Amino acid sequence: MRELKIGFLQQHNVADIENNIERLAEGITDLAQRGAELVILQELHNSLYFCQTEDVNKFDLAETIPGPSTGFYGELANELGIVIVTSLFEKRAPGLYHNTAVVIEKDGSIAGKYRKMHIPDDPAYYEKFYFTPGDLGFHPIDTSVGHLGVLICWDQWYPEAARLMALQGADMLIYPTAIGYESSDTDEEKQRQCEAWTTVMRGHAVANGLPVIAVNRVGHEPDPSEQTNGIQFWGSSFVAGPQGEILYRASDDKEERVIVNIDLDHSENVRRWWPFLRDRRIDEYGKITKRFID
């Protein structure tokens, strides 16, 4: 059995960025000392989720890659001997910004990065104002702990993204996330949304025979414009096995530091039992690249 100890931090962020980073570093260190080999952080983990409003001043939060955060988390990864999946607001050039995941290798170097491909534009999630769609494609990042199929939040809803990662040898699918409830929705609707979020990613696990790790924020973050009641991030970070089985699911309202053991060899067995990749009718899928088929 090829076992990997995966750690993740489900954190409630505050306006004080230094405080957020300090608590992240403390959590990463704690997870590493408890045996984690790979630590995954939530989407845009250094700050509040600033996309609730369209504010040009928020571009000041962006940074270059390499830059301060990759340096900071790189030193931490090197000191602790772990791989870290970070999520940063990337300044690529003046007026050109991305929502970017950066994977830090055990020696502190940058193993690779992924720029978020699917960019939402919903009330309180005004990401198209800030982020240019990614241009690096869907490619696993090779690390000392495996081939990491890193995607970001809104990418969770697209089976094509998960499939392309699987077809290129990803050992697992990883989704740093920032998603929560709209305050005006009913409790029943909130439950449906959270369950849909979990279910679609469990489906990606099943369809591709791969473990899935989704790491979400938790807690309430106010709307700076006061036009809404802010976002209640629903936590519920989870790890699923290659048959969609839930190995761990976090609280919907509390911070957590969690280690989950996954058996990387189990995917091989699952794919032998359920050979979905073998039976794909690739000769009939050409129209999948169309926006819509009239």
The CATH superfamily of 3-281 is Carbon-nitrogen hydrolase (3.60.110.10)
Q: Is 113 a catalytic residue?
A: no
Residue pair 243/253 in contact by the 8 Å Cβ criterion: no
Q: What is the DSSP letter of 46?
A: T
Q: What is the pLDDT of residue 1?
A: 76
Residues forming a β-bridge with 285: none
Note if 153 is an active site residue: yes
- CA-CA-CA-CA torsion sign (6, 10, 115, 203): positive
Of the listed 5, 91, 113, 116, which one is catalytic?
Answer: 116
Q: Is 2 in contact with 242 (CB distance < 8 Å)?
A: no
Residue of 58, 113, 127, 153 marked active site: 153
pLDDT for the residue 116: 98
Q: What is the pLDDT of residue 183?
A: 82
CB neighbour list of residue 163: distance below 8 Å, 6 or more residues apart: 207, 208
The amino acid sitting at 178 is: A
43 is catalytic: yes
pLDDT of residue 254: 98
Single out the residue of 65, 85, 73, 62 nearest to residue 176, CA to CA: 85
Pairing of strands 256-263, 3-10: antiparallel
pTM: 0.97
Place of tokens 């240019």: 132
Q: What is the pLDDT of residue 129?
A: 98
26's enclosing H/E stretch is helix 17-33
Cα torsion 135, 179, 226, 62: sign? negative
- The first and second tokens of residue 22, run together, are 């300090």
> What does the pLDDT read at residue 184?
84
At residue 144, the pLDDT reads: 98
The sheet with strand 172-176 has its strands ordered as 141-143, 146-150, 172-176, 212-215, 238-240, 246-249
Q: What is the CA radius of gyration of the chain?
A: 18
Active site residue: 43, 90, 127, 221, which one? 43
How do the pLDDT tens digits run along the chain, 294 residues long? 789 999 999 999 999 999 999 999 999 999 999 999 999 999 999 999 999 999 999 999 999 999 999 999 999 999 999 999 999 999 999 999 999 999 999 999 999 999 999 999 999 999 999 999 999 999 999 999 999 999 999 999 999 999 999 999 999 999 999 999 988 889 999 999 999 999 999 999 999 999 999 999 999 999 999 888 999 999 999 999 999 999 999 999 999 999 999 999 999 999 999 999 999 999 999 999 999 999
